[in-house]
Structure 1
């Protein structure tokens, strides 16, 4: 790989890591933000919802926009947007404004993720597989060590530091990207013939609007449900409206020429559909732990942000170590054995959480984190491989988009699950109930993985 390509890799890597880094650092800041803005746990959960909803929408939209306006322009614009949002977020006069800047930050970082892989594919032709795997390390590594970085920053400089830390990354990435990403030739015939109405149809603006309004309304309605059993009629109506709008979204997507989420694909390729369902459950389980455990450590056990970050580091390190080992194993045996072992480890980790009590040694949490970390490393490679094996080559682009949608829906549902269980206040009883639910989800994954292994063995015996 030439020196210019190496610098191009660094430029893209520093940009795309901002999305997973900011999605994971916030897990250690939830308790601090609750105190800062005097919120209950349900209210502060919107700092998570907003980021993932915006990412789920922005990434496919910006991917399409890059075909029209150029990948270099989208990448550089994303860095500028992320820089401004990270600079203004700590100055927010209210939690509402912090949510606004968090959404802007999500859009900016999603612009880079949407085109980063494409830039590497187009401009790095030698050792391309190694380059793409390096970008995956930027993405998975940033998410894995995010809680540790967040814990250290909050311990020494308080919660605004988790936003300010983005600024040097954004500046360095912008300067390198400006120098190393080649300028693209404009396509005037393409852009001039595309009216605003055609552009809105191309990105399925109507579908995006229905999806956003329906999902947010449903979340508002569901978040009113808590352990107290009291249900507000007004919130219930909002939730019903959300369901109706999501129903309209499904109907619209089935008729749209260029759907935001191609729902018909699920019916056409059932094997791929099951991979996405399994991936959805994996993310519900993983991120419920990812956001719930730091709050348990800080609110229930009164562990500092710094030590919470250190404990969470065991999850990230185990994940990073397990990923290359999983890659070699999956190359020899396929993804199913690795996914089966991953599901078993998630069961063990979930059961361990249920056995914890309020006087258990805090260090014992590392056992559950180790199980989930190894499981995450196996899943990161295994699920991606299973997706490619179950998807026709001509559908890889669409399949990858649906795969990311499953990831974001899983993270959103995990935050919703934690918020509903905890209600206004994070408690040990709620955390134990969360562990029981995660155990049920993990057992479901074991069953699904075992059935897939059995079906493959049956097919091989017939052959």
Structure 2
């Protein structure tokens, strides 16, 4: 690989790390945001939910848009959008404005994730596996060290620091991308002649609107009722509106020629459906711990942001350490043994949370963090391999998109779960209830994987 290829890879890596970095740093900032804006935990959880809803919508949309308008343009536009959001978010006069700027940040960083891998695949023609593995390090490393970095920044300043820290990454990525990413080819005749209406049909803007508004209305109905402590007619109306819109979304997607989420694909390939459902549950487990434990440490155990970041580092380090081992194991034995082991580890970590006590040593949480970290390292590789094994080659692109959608839905559900369990204030009793719920989900995954262990097939044979 030549020097220019390495610089191209670094420019893309510095851009795509912004999405996982910003989604993970906020886990340590929740108590600080509650205090700064005088809000309860349920209301502040929208800083998490909004980011993942926007990412779930923006990434597939921007992937399609890059085919029409060019990947270099979309990547540079994403950097510009992320820069703007990072500059104005610290100036937010209210929490509503902060959520809005957070959504803008999610859209900008999603543009880079959506096209970053494609840029590397197209323009680096030799040692592509090495290039993609390096990009994976940028993504997983940013997610792993995000809470640690967030803890240091918030401890030294306040919540505004988690936005300001983006500026050097954006500046370096933009400069390198401008110099190293080749210019896009001229827009094709078909794309240039598309009318706005044709473009909206191609993007399935109707499906996107139904999905987004339906999901947001449903979440507002549930979380607002939990936050206020009683169910009002407005809560019921919001919930029913969301449910109706999501039903309309399903009907629309089944009829659409270019669906936002191709639901018919799930119906045709049940094995792929099972993988996506399991991946969604895995992410509910992982992100419930990822977002819940920092609030437990800071609110219940009164650990400062810096020490919380240090403790959370064990989660990321264990995940990174397990990933190379997982790759070798899965190449030899297939994904299912790793998935089964991962489910066992998540069950152990969830049970450990249930039996934590207010007087337990603070560092004892590292046992649960290590179990979930190793589990995540195994799942990052095993679930990806399971997805490839269950998906026909002719739809592998669609399958990858659906796989990422399952990740985001699982993450959104984890935030919803924490908000419902905790309500207005994060407390020890709620944290224990959360542990019980996670134990049930993890044991379900153990049962599902145990049922399929009799039919284990190595990766090489399945291919």
Shorter-chain TM-score tier: over 0.9
Alignment of 1:286-365 (within 5 A): 286-365=286-365
Q: Which residue of 2 aligns with 1:219?
A: 219
Q: Which residue of 1 aligns with 2:461?
A: none
8 Å contact from structure 2 (residues 276, 403) kept in 1: yes
8 Å contact from structure 2 (residues 42, 227) kept in 1: no
8 Å contact from structure 2 (residues 227, 424) kept in 1: no
Taking the aligned partners of 2:114 and 2:188, their CA distance within structure 1 comes to 23
Taking the aligned partners of 1:192 and 1:184, their CA distance within structure 2 comes to 14
Q: Which residue of 2 aligns with 1:455?
A: 455
Q: Which residue of 2 aligns with 1:11?
A: 11
Range that drifts further, 88-97 or 224-233: 224-233
Q: Which residue of 2 aligns with 1:142?
A: 142
Q: Which residue of 1 aligns with 2:98?
A: 98
Taking the aligned partners of 1:104 and 1:275, their CA distance within structure 2 comes to 31
Q: Secondary structure at the match of 1:226?
A: helix
> Is 1:419–2:419 an aligned residue pair?
yes
Alignment of 1:182-331 (within 5 A): 182-226=182-226, 230-331=230-331
Q: Deviations over 1:272-301 (max 9, x none)?
A: 000000000000010011000000000000
TM-score (norm 2): 0.97
Per-residue deviation, 1:189: 1.1
Cα 1:228–1:18 shift into 2, 3 Å = closer
Per-residue deviation, 1:119: 0.2
Q: Deviations over 1:28-67 (max 9, x none)?
A: 0000000000000011000001100000000000000100
Q: Secondary structure at the match of 2:226?
A: coil
Taking the aligned partners of 1:155 and 1:228, their CA distance within structure 2 comes to 31
Q: Secondary structure at the match of 2:251?
A: helix
Q: Which residue of 2 aligns with 1:89?
A: 89
Alignment of 1:57-206 (within 5 A): 57-206=57-206
8 Å contact from structure 2 (residues 272, 391) kept in 1: yes
Gap regions ≥5 residues in structure 2: 458-463
Taking the aligned partners of 1:137 and 1:451, their CA distance within structure 2 comes to 33
Per-residue deviation, 1:188: 4.6
Per-residue deviation, 1:229: 6.0
Per-residue deviation, 1:372: 0.3
Per-residue deviation, 1:423: 0.6
Q: Which residue of 2 aligns with 1:461?
A: none
8 Å contact from structure 1 (residues 49, 415) kept in 2: yes
Q: Deviations over 1:239-265 (max 9, x none)?
A: 011001100000000000000000001
8 Å contact from structure 2 (residues 349, 372) kept in 1: yes
8 Å contact from structure 2 (residues 47, 99) kept in 1: yes
Q: Secondary structure at the match of 1:321?
A: helix
TM-score (norm 1): 0.97
Q: Which residue of 2 aligns with 1:393?
A: 393
Q: Cα RMSD over matched residues?
A: 1.0
Taking the aligned partners of 1:453 and 1:113, their CA distance within structure 2 comes to 34
8 Å contact from structure 1 (residues 86, 164) kept in 2: yes
Q: Deviations over 1:117-158 (max 9, x none)?
A: 000000001100111111111111111111001001101121
Per-residue deviation, 1:190: 2.5
Per-residue deviation, 1:187: 2.3
8 Å contact from structure 1 (residues 224, 232) kept in 2: no
8 Å contact from structure 1 (residues 340, 450) kept in 2: yes
Per-residue deviation, 1:191: 2.7
8 Å contact from structure 1 (residues 253, 262) kept in 2: yes
Figure out how many residues of one structure are paired with residues of the other and give that number: 457
Per-residue deviation, 1:228: 8.5
Per-residue deviation, 1:236: 1.6
Per-residue deviation, 1:232: 2.1
8 Å contact from structure 1 (residues 221, 239) kept in 2: yes
8 Å contact from structure 2 (residues 25, 146) kept in 1: yes
> Is 1:38–2:38 an aligned residue pair?
yes
Q: Secondary structure at the match of 1:224?
A: helix
Taking the aligned partners of 1:243 and 1:185, their CA distance within structure 2 comes to 43
Per-residue deviation, 1:226: 3.2
Per-residue deviation, 1:227: 8.8
8 Å contact from structure 1 (residues 15, 79) kept in 2: yes
Taking the aligned partners of 1:38 and 1:365, their CA distance within structure 2 comes to 28
Gap regions ≥5 residues in structure 1: 458-463
Taking the aligned partners of 2:452 and 2:65, their CA distance within structure 1 comes to 38
Taking the aligned partners of 1:271 and 1:191, their CA distance within structure 2 comes to 35
